[in-house]
Amino acid sequence: MRNLNDILNNVTVIQVLGNSSIGISELIFDSRKVSANSCFFTQKGTKVDAHEFIPQVIEAGAKAIVCEVLPSVLNDSICYVLVDDSSEAMGVMASNYYQNPSSKLKLIGVTGTNGKTTTVTLLHQLYTKLGFKAGLISTVVNKIGEEEIKSTHTTPDSISINSLIAKMVDAGCSHCYMEVSSHAVVQHRVTGLDFLGGVFTNITHEHLDYHKTFSEYIKAKRGFFNLLGSDSFALSNRDDKNGEVMLQETSAKKHFYALKIDADFKTKIIESNFAGLSLKLDNQEFWSPLIGHFNAYNLTAVYAVGVLLGDDKLELLTALSTLKTVAGRFQYINLFEVSGIVDYAHSPDALENVLKTIKDIRTGNEQVITVVGCGGDRDCTKRPMMAAIACKFSDRVILTSDNPRTEDPAAIIEEMKTGVDATSKRKVLAITDRREAIRTAASFAQRNDILLVAGKGHETYQEINGVRNHFDDVEVLTESITEINKSEA
């Protein structure tokens, strides 16, 4: 139990009605999970306004209600806390409830359109190899040391984040690396957290179904760095045209990394192939098994964070060379002399990065075959762009389903087709069934060909009409290449 007055510390409160010197057993924003002595937050969602559930949460045992609008009839046994923004209040109160756990370890947040998952996962790998116990909060998985906890969101809600970080502190973690999505910033999921550092990877066309305009998307990302204090550091990709814009208003100490222009941390690619990268970083050469120029950026950011945290440069570079690829991020498999790549690329820029990496590595004597789709109930403006990019850099393209969710997958593919120009139509197939699409691509692949399956990466499901069915691109691709080549043997 925590005293409500203590939990309200640093919260901007308009009015408190009722006794605030009460014990609170837990913080809840889902009305279905309210129990005795809990504090309920009435968040206004896009579809539901939780203020409507105040009577039922009181009946379920809630003792405090944090709201933006007071109910017309007040209950004398309830403490009502009136605020401007319930989500913002929840972030601060969650941190207070769990006794500010983020201040008890080194918390680093990573934001950007692409590279968040890889960067935080590599940081977790790196610091584990350096002998630290570290936490991880990512799209793929959450970790307390090596203990894995299922991930449901890129950035969880503020109560879950603070609960998770508190468990990390209790388990002896000294560091935590977390992805920070644009949604999380706007929805105050990271409000109240004490970040020692923040990293910006890049920003491109994405999530406009939520943010509506690119300028609003940039504003959301920049909002994360505005949360950082003067004792924190802010590290940004200077090669991105918005890299300096991101840090314009931050109070944190500014640092930059780059491959192309001058920066505090500069990397040069010496060699790049399917075996990995030879890099010169901080005037030291080293080899990494990670593939592609985008991983050169990720590795540079990871190294820079290590230096800014005060760790030994040579130890960092030595450990950096042993880091392994992240599941579903340019995940490379070689079977029967066919190069298979599975990548989470689900935005135009991410897909172009992957295909440009393949272009840089290929000899030109092989086919590049790309299987790609677009998710349903998401930004539809990128669909033609995804198809156009696939056609530009591939010899054959198969348009298929991603996670159609509640949309008709065939209709999504038709929207993608509008991005296919007349000269590219001959090399494009549309196969709605994703398994069949991957199998067809595998049947096209000859010796030394490169087969990219893009869009779902690490995901082990396909969501159709609200149902998640088991589907693993790596698994399906491996099975398809193996079956086809064994049958032809």
Q: Does residue 212 surpass a pLDDT of 90?
A: no
Q: Tell me which of 11-20, 159-168, 205-214 is least confident.
A: 205-214
Q: What is the pLDDT of residues 224-237, one digit of tens each?
A: 999 999 999 999 99
What DSSP state is assigned to residue 238?
T
Run of H or E including 302? helix 293-308
Is this prediction's pTM over 0.85?
Answer: yes
Q: Which of 109, 115, 113, 110 is closest to 329 using CA atoms?
A: 115
β-sheet bridge partners, residue 450: 339, 368
Q: What is the pLDDT of residues 31-82, one digit of tens each?
A: 999 999 999 999 887 678 999 999 999 999 999 999 999 999 999 999 999 9
With contact defined as beta carbons under 8 Å apart, do 368 and 450 qualify?
yes
For range 155-177, the mean pLDDT = 96
The yes-or-no verdict on residue 118 having pLDDT over 90 is yes
- Per-residue pLDDT, 211: 42
Report the SS3 class of residue 158. helix
CATH class of 2-96: alpha beta
Question: Structure tokens of 430?
Answer: 């549309």
Integer Cα distance of 392 and 102 in angstroms: 45
257/265 Cα distance (integer angstroms): 5
Strands (E), 424-475: 428-430, 450-454, 461-464, 467-470
The proportion of the chain whose per-residue pLDDT surpasses 70, expressed as a percent, equals 98
Q: How much is the pLDDT for 355?
A: 97
Longest pairwise C-alpha distance within the chain: 79
Which band of pLDDT confidence, cut at 50, 70 and 90, is reported for residue 153? confident
CA distance 290 to 122: 11
Mean pLDDT computed over every residue of the chain: 94
Identify the CATH number of the domain defined by range 100-320: 3.40.1190.10
Nearest CA to 60 among 18, 21, 81, 30?
Answer: 30
Of residues 105 and 486, the one with the higher pLDDT is: 105
Question: Residue 206: pLDDT above 70?
Answer: no
331-488 classified as CATH 3.10.20.600: no
Where are the domains positioned within the chain?
2-96, 100-320, 331-488
Q: Which residues of 376-394 are buried (b: 16+ CB within 10 A; e: fewer)?
A: bebbbebbbbbbbbbbebb
Which residues neighbour 394 within 8 Å (Cβ) at sequence distance 6 or greater? 355, 368, 369, 370, 427, 452
208 has a pLDDT exceeding 60: no
What is each CA distance from 189 to 246, 314, 416, in whole angstroms? Answer: 19, 36, 33
